[in-house]
Amino acid sequence: MAFKPEKPSIHGETPDSLGARLAEAGHPRYRAGQVFAWLYPKRAENAEVMTNLPADLRSWLTDNYDFNCAEVLGKKTASDVTQKLLQRLRDGSLIETVIIRAPMEGVGQDKSRRTICISTQVGCAYGCKFCASGLEGWKRDLSVGEIVSQLVQVCRIEDQTDPIRAAEGLASFDNIVVMGMGEPLANYDNLLAALKAVNAPWGFGFGARRITISTSGVVPKILKLAEEDLGFRLAISLHGATNEVREQIMPVNRKYPLEQLIPAAKVFARTHGRMLTLEFILIADINDSLDQARKLAVIARDLHAHVNLIPYNTVQGLPWVRPSITRQDRFVKELRALGVTATLRREKGHDIDAACGQLRLQKEKTLGADSSPPAAA
């Protein structure tokens, strides 16, 4: 169900594609470079600010492009410096972008390391049983412009408190994690085009190694990504160390069980020469036993992967419970004792429903917004 907006997003273009459209419309192709000098370094909010362009070109851009296809509806700030932006797309769909600040020692909060968590779909078809994003099914994929616009919006907001980076025209974040709403590898082409724009010298010039894509385990797409000569990092949402446990909470495991997922992850790690991350949400009495920790350790050691443990973030209406601190600690200790590097992420943003899809879900309920029925995984 593709959505065709009235005007395409300017952030969906590259200098080449914009140059071609300009030429078709009778403008010089080289003007595309001038437009791009405004778009990313200066986060231009409209064509009128592009004062070195002729007036007729500025009005052509205004008539033909959308400069702000992910309008910020609201912000929520948590006590632990996690901020969540709720954004409305042109068809009324809601998405979320999260800014996570990790304060650096000895510097003020405005100098903290900023990780931006972006969404790639409206809803999600994969239907993981613990996740708010999947609760109401998949609605549609985000376009390239909609994915990029989330980051441009963050820069526009952050520039207000970080004038130095803004003046240098640099991205006002340090890491990007593709862990918001949706399954990124199910929107593969748009995701890659968006990340290439973020990475390109004409975009944000942002290092590929600082971008992590998280997947629930779409095996053919992991293998495809492994073949691309791009340096993005990969995180795999494992959440179960055996098929039995994984299947209980992740329907995708029926299609791509561990016997397929682990070899695909290995191919990725080998071709990229990078450490993988295994994400593991701890849910009481589902996957938090010592037996699961031991089996997870075998997988992590085999893949030379880092394990990121995330205590389950409660979702209204779902039955799952976060394990006690004692059980969380017991799990991480067992992994470490077995030689695995593991972090227990006492997750940020619990008080603003920062787990993917939660804020949007609440808002959709209050707005009574329409959502399509869940699609099969």
**Residues annotated as catalytic (active site), given as ranges:** 96, 356
Select the residue interacting with ligand SF4 from 136, 162, 183, 334 (CB under 6 A): 183
With CB under 6 A as the contact rule, the residue among 126, 173, 204, 280 that binds ligand SF4 is: 126
Give the Å distances, CA to CA, from 49 to 55, 193, 353. Answer: 11, 26, 37
Nearer to ligand SAH, 47 or 252 (CB): 252
Binder to ligand SAH among 261, 303, 356, 359 (CB under 6 A)? 356
Residue 183 lies near ligand SAH (rule: CB under 6 A): yes
Residue 109: both structure tokens together? 């909060």
- Name the minimum Å distance from CB 328 to ligand SF4: 20
- Exactly one of 155, 355, 359, 377 binds ligand SAH (CB under 6 A); which one? 355
As measured in angstroms, the least distance from the Cβ of 281 to ligand SF4 is 9
Q: Which is nearer to ligand SAH, 153 or 216 (CB)?
A: 216
The answer to whether 323 touches 284, Cβ cutoff 8 Å, is yes
Strand partners, 98: 84, 117
Q: Contact region for ligand SF4 (CB under 6 A) — 27-35, 55-63, 131-139, 147-155?
A: 131-139
| Comparison of 10 and 281: residue with beta carbon closer to ligand SAH | 281
State the nearest-atom distance from the C-beta of 70 to ligand SAH, in Å: 18
125 touches ligand SAH by CB under 6 A? no
Which CB, 172 or 237, lies closer to ligand SAH?
Answer: 237
172, 159 in Cβ contact below 8 A?
Answer: yes
Best CA proximity match to 361, nearest among 80, 127, 137: 137
Q: Are 344 and 72 in contact (CB under 8 A)?
A: no
* 163 within 8 A of 106, measured Cβ to Cβ: no
**Smallest Cα–Cα separation from 261: which of 240, 282, 289, 281?**
240
Q: Check residue 315 for interaction with ligand SAH (CB under 6 A).
A: yes
Q: Which ranges in 201-323 belong to alpha helices (H)?
A: 219-227, 243-249, 252-255, 258-272, 290-303
The residue among 43, 45, 95 whose CA lies nearest residue 73 is 95
Q: Is residue 124 within the footprint of ligand SF4 (CB under 6 A)?
A: yes
216 interacts with ligand SAH by CB under 6 A: yes
Q: Which residues, at least 6 apart from 20, have a Cβ–Cβ distance to it below 8 Å? A: 29
Region label for 109, one of left (φ > 0), alpha (ψ between -120 and 50) or beta (otherwise): alpha
Question: Does 128 participate in binding ligand SF4 (rule CB under 6 A)?
Answer: yes
176's contact among ligand SAH, ligand SF4, none, with CB below 5 to 8 A by partner kind, is: none
96 binds ligand SF4 (CB under 6 A): no
Positions 336 through 365 that interact with ligand SF4 (CB under 6 A): 356
Q: How many helices (H) and strands (E) does the chain have?
A: 13, 12
Sole binder of ligand SAH in the list 131, 166, 299, 361 (CB under 6 A):
131
Question: 319 or 368, CB closer to ligand SAH?
Answer: 319
Residues 6+ apart with CB under 8 A from 147: 118, 119, 120, 190, 191, 194
Q: In what order do the strands lie in the sheet with 233-237?
A: 70-77, 82-89, 94-102, 113-117, 175-178, 211-215, 233-237, 277-282, 306-311, 342-344
* Residue pointed to by tokens 């190694």: 209
Is residue 130 within the footprint of ligand SAH (CB under 6 A)?
yes
Region 254-313 residues binding ligand SAH, contact defined as CB under 6 A: 279, 281, 310, 312-313
Q: Which of ligand SF4, ligand SAH, none does residue 312 bind (CB under 5 to 8 Å by kind)?
A: ligand SAH
Binding site for ligand SF4 (CB under 6 A): 124, 126-128, 131, 133-134, 182-183, 216, 237, 356
Binding site for ligand SAH (CB under 6 A): 130-131, 179, 183-184, 214-216, 237, 279, 281, 310, 312-313, 315, 355-356
